[in-house]
Amino acid sequence: MEIANSETNIIELIRNSNKPFIENELRLFLTIPSNTLNHEGIAKAKNYLISYISEISEEINEYKGVINPLILAKVEGKIKESLLIYMMYDTQPVNKEKEWISNPFGAEIKILPSPLNKLGNCIIARGAYNSKTPLLCFLNIIKILKKNDCLPISLLLLFDGEEEKGSPSLLRFLENNTHRKMFENCIDAYYPSTKQDLNRKSVLKLGYKGILSLTIRISSRNKEPHSAFGGMIPNPATDLVSLLNTIYTNNEFQIDSLKNPYDLTDDEQSLIDMLIKELDLEKIKEKAGIQQTIEDNPQKAFINYLFNPTFNISTLRSGFLEEGTKNYVPNEAICNIDIRFARDVTIEEIFKEIKEKVDFFSKSTKSQVEIAKNIGYESSRVKKDSTLVKSLINSTESLGFTTELWPLSAAAAPLSKIQKVLGLNFITGGLGIGGFAHSANEFIQYDSIINTRLADYHFLKNYSKMVKENL
């Protein structure tokens, strides 16, 4: 690799290497089917990453996970204090493959259907947006800076292979006192991502909702007899519906911890007021593939989106699921639920109230009712005047883009646990235009990838400068 010894030369090196990086490194990485439960694909992605950073990392450690390995790597820079970089290498599985315009793991360059055809060439692949592209772009910039002896700050790279399943290994890892000591030299945490909207604004969100994932299973000992016997035997399917209505009904929670309206802080209200003046909700819906919303008023819909607690049934399974009909009484009903919340409440409080509802309902049915808490973490915030936020805004401005500050992300992330356990501020952000995470035709706009890489460089430079001034 050509050695660069000035900022101008580094930027030129990044620009000149952009196409070879995309064609020879990024697209290859995107062809690896690393959905969380595909162990062969996960192993290939893990090995690819370890090989990619082996020349620039002083230390790489792999830790056995509940599902997939967790990887920690140290990269020494000019400042000995470290910035923790969180990255995920697992993806969602592919669903509705017939709706994809190309092979989900072909990393092919295509034009998306209207109205997104205006984006021009896009790389179509599961993980292109969430979040293998920003991951590899950031590693590529680290590699360039490290090989040119100008990495401005030390980094601790954390690769999570279970984010799409709630990061169980990471959560356990952080709770371990011995493991926690590995983060003692870290001063902040950053999650590289591609967060430009269709108007090319950088969207920077100052926090995440919390999340609690549950599984409820209701069963009977019967052998699924004819529905004529329905008057004398328990029905787990109808019992499940009845139970869920005691927890959430008519778009409202029936538990105290999430029942009352969320009170916006003055800072949150101020940011919302500024956003509403310029926000184009239709653009957000267009990028996400949303055709219908509950609330027609754009301002109310946006506030609900950010701050209302959500009760989402992602899996609901019971009875005869093949073509045609079959009149019988099922002996099992299962649902997976994820609850997202903005307020300052613990997952233990929420689960306790739901468990009380389950226990009370169990007394009124002959079915067996079971509930399992799968994973969860609380909501989190970062101040807009933090070093992380200022550095990201400066990096965006360096490339001629503006930043739109949001008070919160409606998504949830295990970085919330990093803040709670390690006491580190964290932020996720960066340039690049992509979309359709978890959906068909997940994409990253080809021409925006150069901005992703350049923004990574400017962020590291700006952040390190601010840290050095405060030391």
What band does 7 get if pLDDT is binned at 50, 70 and 90?
A: confident
Closest alpha carbon to 202 in 393, 382, 460: 393
pTM, full prediction: 0.86
The domains of the chain, with CATH numbers, are: 7-206+382-470 (3.40.630.10), 209-255+308-376 (3.30.70.360)
Read off the pLDDT of residues 406-452 as tens digits, 9 standing for 90 and up: 999 998 887 778 888 899 999 999 999 999 999 999 999 999 999 99
Peptide bond into 152 cis (omega under 30): no
Q: Render pLDDT for 190-249 as a digit per residue (tens, 0 to 9).
A: 999 999 998 899 999 999 999 999 999 999 999 999 999 999 999 999 999 999 999 999
**How many Cα atoms are found within 13 Å in the side-chain-facing hemisphere of 329?**
21
* pLDDT surpasses 80 at 282: no
Would strands 70-75 and 59-63 be described as parallel, antiparallel, or unpaired?
Answer: antiparallel
Q: Note the pLDDT of residue 244.
A: 98
pLDDT-above-90 percentage for the chain: 81
Written as six digits, the tokens of 235 are 């029905």
Token pair for 375: 């994973």
Residue 2 has pLDDT above 60, yes or no: no
pLDDT tens-digit series, residues 283-314: 777 767 788 888 888 788 888 999 999 999 99
pLDDT for residue 283: 73
At 261 the pLDDT is 85
Looking at per-residue pLDDT, the higher value among 320 and 337 belongs to 337
- Are 404 and 204 spatial neighbours (Cβ–Cβ below 8 Å)? yes
Q: Is the pLDDT of residue 69 over 90?
A: yes
* Nearest partner of 227 among 362, 119, 78, 329, judged by Cα: 329
Instruction: Give the pLDDT score at 287.
Output: 65
Token look-up 């008070």 returns: 407
89 and 159 in contact (C-beta within 8 Å)? Answer: yes
Read off φ and ψ for residue 357, nearest 5 degrees.
-65, -40
* Helices and strands in the chain, H and E counts: 16, 20
How many Å apart are CA 151 and CA 81, to the nearest integer? 13
- Chain centroid to CA 357: 30
Interatomic CA distance for residues 406 and 306, integer angstroms:
9
Q: What number of other Cβ atoms are within 10 A of residue 298's Cβ?
A: 16
* pLDDT of 1 over the 70 cut: no
Q: What is the residue-averaged pLDDT of the chain?
A: 93
Kindly state the percentage of the chain with pLDDT values over 70. 99
CB neighbour burial string for 330-343, b if at least 16 within 10 angstroms, e if fewer: bbbbbbbbbbbbbb
Q: Contact at 8 Å (CB) between 164 and 36?
A: yes
Amino acid at residue number 240: L
pLDDT digit string, tens, across residues 76-119: 999 999 999 999 999 999 988 999 999 999 999 999 999 999 99
Report the pLDDT value the prediction gives residue 4, as an integer from 0 to 100.
57
DSSP 8-state class, residue 24: I
CA angle 267, 270, 276 (to 5 degrees): 140
C-alpha closest to that of 136 among 33, 56, 25, 34: 25
Say if CB 299 and CB 291 are below 8 A apart: no
Pick the closest to residue 426 from 196, 172, 158 (CA basis): 158
> Residue 12 belongs to what H/E stretch?
helix 7-16
Q: In sequence order, which residues have a C-beta less than 8 Å from that of residue 229 and are 6 or more positions away?
A: 329
Assigned token pair, 220 = 């009977």
- Residue 453: CB atoms within 10 Å: 25
Q: Are 405 and 268 in contact (CB under 8 A)?
A: no
